[in-house]
């Protein structure tokens, strides 16, 4: 997993780049958001291909 940093005005945006599934569970999402928040990112870009379809089952 690679994080590309984008700066727009006062917002730091993390673009998550990976060839693998990153979010397979809600816990994975919470961990990712927590880690990026700790690194002072305001927003996250993550691609649908990096999220398992089961993640969207409510």
Domains of the chain: which residue ranges? 2-56
| Residue 55: per-residue pLDDT | 85
The number of beta carbons lying within 10 Å of the beta carbon of residue 6 is 12
| Residue 58: per-residue pLDDT | 66
| Residue 56: per-residue pLDDT | 83
Q: Evaluate whether 56 touches 24 at the Cβ level (below 8 Å).
A: no
| Residue 35: per-residue pLDDT | 96
Spans in the chain with pLDDT lower than 70: 58
What order of strands is seen across the sheet that includes strand 11-17?
A: 2-8, 11-17, 43-45
């Amino acid at each position: 997993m690679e994080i590309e940093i984008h700066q727009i005005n006062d917002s730091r945006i993390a673009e998550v780049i990976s060839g693998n599934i990153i979010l397979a569970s809600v816990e994975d999402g919470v961990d990712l958001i927590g880690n990026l928040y700790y690194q002072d990112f305001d927003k996250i870009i993550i691609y649908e291909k990096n999220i398992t379809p089961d993640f969207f089952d409510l």
